[in-house]
Structure 1
């Protein structure tokens, strides 16, 4: 049985995937949600630590794995899934998809920051930025669960890129107010396949059942 390894984006804890995990369970898929080291009340480290967390989750799966990355999570997945023989497929959901020697800053065409020891502030309106089409009660709960995010992993450069050897699919979120659709389309050129979903940045909260069905299609293909 294929297990989904779910990797959240910046500012998010594994609980952000609870609704999606319930839908995957109904389809018969076990899942694991990864806690990234650089996000949380005790946020630490950089890309190496986040990639190690992804790698450990993959290695804990007894059997084939499909790894889903959301937003920033695409960067540690690209690094951490490299060389893991049980990874059957990578899914980049509105996610950064870097090549070797790229970082989130370089993907945006920005210079590295002078100081990477602090935290990156979330926008003034995370409800609109991240959860525009999410039901009000779910969005309020999601906003209340947001945590601190270190800058360091956004500046760290990728040293291995798993998508060079592992089949991958990019899911473009067509109404995204956080990760520009044009940048998603550009990065999706690295993937073997491209799918689309007509949501804002967080379809695992706005349309978890639809997203689970799409992931089922991808896993079966």
Structure 2
């Protein structure tokens, strides 16, 4: 009987090992919480491709990811657009915003119970009624105004803003390889002048756990302003990247991805709790 019992245990162990080895790569075990979807929202003068390296890192960790095409037309309308996207996603979501995208996620998360966390990447985290212009001017250090090209007048009377291509690298992406910065200058997405002055309709960070990361050499949003917003939002964790520019997600993608993963892991654990 003793030999039969030992043999049974051996076959059981082999069966469990075989089952484990036959599972698809990246498949979650029954005890592992499901991974939330990460929705990335770019800001002004950037585009969805600005998240490429962060996306690559997150996908390597088996996270579902969507890089939204932020319209950059106005805070409320952009937030409605992102909110509709979020509403189409089943399960929990971590919303990540860069720069002006921080205003967008702060409003888009309202009324979306599947949004479980916010991550601000060199981003605005506004109080209700505050605008990007208000917050960037709250502390000295932003040189964006002098780097802008003449506004482009649109048929509806709105004005589109671009950064001058010959000033783009120094202003926006000083720690990015020059060849890449030149490409970014050409492919930059404009934002309306009105969007930068539009008051935020909501502040989702008041009710959602939030994480912050930014560079100490940001010339668009002064580091002091970002520190103020992170403290006001009672940030779960704030990472200040030495020497990083405004596009920290391009120059330091692994650090940004790591913080997003921390936020996502916290969401996964909280969601799995009874």
Question: What range is the shorter-chain TM-score in?
Answer: 0.7 to 0.9
Partner of 1:73: 101
Identify the residue that residue 19 of structure 2 maps to in structure 1: none
4+ residue segments displaced more than 4 Å:
none
3-state SS, counterpart of residue 208 of structure 2? coil
1:109 Cα deviation (Å)? 4.6
Contact 1:51 1:80 in 2 (8 A): yes
Q: Is the 8 A contact 1:138 1:205 kept in 2?
A: no
1:77-156 to structure 2, matched below 5 A, reads 77-109=105-137, 117-123=158-164, 125-156=167-198
1:201 alignment counterpart: 246
TM-score by length of 1: 0.87
Structure 1's unaligned 5+ residue stretches are: 39-44
Relative distance call for 1:179 and 1:109 in structure 2 (3 A) is closer
Structure 2: runs of 5+ lacking an equivalent: 1-34, 139-152, 267-274
Secondary structure at the counterpart of residue 97 of structure 2: strand
Task: Work out the CA distance in 2 between the residues paired with 1:87 and 1:74.
Answer: 14
Residue 52 of structure 1, aligned match among 80, 84, 87: 80
The structure with the largest alpha-carbon Rg is 2
**When the two structures are aligned, how many residues end up with a matched partner?**
211
- State the TM-score, normalized to the length of structure 2: 0.71
Would you say the 8 A contact 2:169–2:178 is kept in 1? no
Two-structure CA RMSD over aligned residues (Å): 2.0
Of 30, 42, 46, 1:12 maps to 46
Distance in 1 (alpha carbons) for counterparts of 2:118 and 2:41? 11
